[in-house]
Amino acid sequence: MARPRSRLLDLERDDMFYGTYHSAIRAIVVWPIFLAATLLLHLAAPFPHAAAVCAALCGAYYLLLDRRAGALAALICFLCWAGGGALAARLGFSPGRKKRVPPAVDNLVQAFLMVPFFALLEVFQTFAGDEPNPGFDATASNLTQEARKEWEDKKAKKMT
């Protein structure tokens, strides 16, 4: 199995990290959250076209991770951007109305970037049996189980 070019493209490690905290992915809920994020960027953009830049960067990143699932994820990002803009216009707010930037939080960017993609990837794996690379699901599942066990062991030690 070929190793990813960088840690940024290490889909198995990211899936392990995500799977450690989320035992059941709610694919129906994740993309509306992305839509809400693009709506917020339309309403309180830190710079002009922030929602478009965010959707384009997420879509491009998803394409780098996996061609098939990434193409669908990029399309959904575009639809969320368009829907967020239409909703913002319907609400009567102009893009970039406020110039305040939200505070930075550790792993918040990674969470908003990877959660929608892993929800879609899980749907692909469940219904189409599609994996980004051969053995991905087994490797990611093993890594997730190991990480959960470490987390449970740490939690048990804190309780004693």
> Using CA atoms, how far apart are residues 61 and 59, in angstroms rounded to an integer?
5
More confident residue, 97 or 74: 74
Is the pTM higher than 0.85? The answer reads no
Count: domains in the chain: 1
Is residue 29 over pLDDT 90?
no
Inter-residue contact 30 to 154 (CB < 8 Å) = no
Strand blocks (E) in 9-112: none
Q: How confident is the model at residue 108 (pLDDT cuts 50, 70, 90)?
A: low
Contact criterion met (CB below 8 Å) for 137 and 125: yes
Domain-located, residue 5 = no
**1 located within any domain:** no
Neighbour-count burial of 59, counting CB atoms closer than 10 A to its CB (0-12 exposed, 13-18 middle, 19+ buried): buried
pLDDT the model gives residue 102: 39
Q: Is 148 exposed, middle or buried (0-12, 13-18, 19+ CB in 10 A)?
A: middle
Q: Is residue 36 part of a domain?
A: yes
Q: Answer yes or no: is 19 within a domain.
A: yes
Tell me which residue range forms the domain holding 99. 10-154
